[in-house]
């Protein structure tokens, strides 16, 4: 079973993943507003992926017989200067998420938590794929 500290950190990560989706949906809305439908669609797909990430952590906590906590989300940016500004913000956001996943992995290693390490390996590979897309 995972530790209380790990449960808390994974619950926080669910919020971060959902916020990523929220931010990408806002980016999709901006792209649609300047008639860049292809980019809007790209960010809509990203939003679905972020929800999938959140749900992967959600189910993991339940499988570990711990309690999920769903938190409120921050307001994402809604105004962007240009498509370049959107891509730059998305890139910076993915770097932040990579840092969060790496911190979770450090905690899992320090706690000899091999089950969570195995789950996080999937996320680390996924972050590498996200960089390839940008
Ligand atoms: Fe994610």
CATH of residue 120's domain is: 1.20.1260.10
Q: Residues within 5 Å of ion ligand 1 by Cβ?
A: 17, 50, 53
Query: How far does residue 36's CA lie from ligand 1's centre (Å)?
Result: 23
Query: How far does residue 66's CA lie from ligand 1's centre (Å)?
Result: 21
Q: Three-state DSSP class for 18?
A: helix
The structural domain count of the chain equals: 1
- Per-residue pLDDT of 47-77, as tens digits, reads 999 999 999 999 999 999 999 999 999 999 9
Question: Which residue range forms the structural domain that includes residue 119?
Answer: 4-133
The pTM score is: 0.94
Query: How far does residue 74's CA lie from ligand 1's centre (Å)?
Result: 16
Query: How far does residue 52's CA lie from ligand 1's centre (Å)?
Result: 8
Q: Does position 32 have pLDDT exceeding 70, yes or no?
A: yes
- Per-residue pLDDT of 83-114, as tens digits, reads 999 999 999 999 999 999 999 999 999 999 99
Pairwise CA distance, residues 42 & 116, whole Å: 30
DSSP 57: H
Query: How far does residue 126's CA lie from ligand 1's centre (Å)?
Result: 8
Residue with tokens 């200067």: 81
Query: DSSP H helical segments within the chain, as ranges?
Result: 4-33, 37-63, 83-110, 114-133
Pairwise CA distance, residues 1 & 4, whole Å: 9
Confidence of residue 134 (pLDDT cuts 50, 70, 90): low
């Amino acid at each position: 079973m995972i530790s209380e500290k790990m449960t808390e950190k994974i619950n926080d990560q669910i919020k971060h993943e959902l916020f990523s989706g929220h931010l990408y949906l806002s980016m999709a809305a901006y792209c649609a507003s300047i008639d860049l439908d292809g980019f809007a669609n790209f960010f809509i797909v990203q939003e679905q992926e972020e929800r999938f990430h959140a749900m992967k952590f959600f189910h993991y906590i339940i499988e570990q017989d711990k309690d999920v906590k769903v938190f409120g989300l921050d307001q994402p940016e809604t105004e962007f200067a240009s498509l370049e500004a959107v891509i730059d913000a998305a890139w910076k956001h993915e770097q932040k998420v990579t840092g969060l996943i790496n911190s979770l992995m450090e905690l899992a290693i320090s706690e000899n938590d091999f089950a969570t390490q195995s789950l996080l390996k999937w996320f680390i590979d996924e972050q590498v794929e996200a960089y390839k897309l940008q």
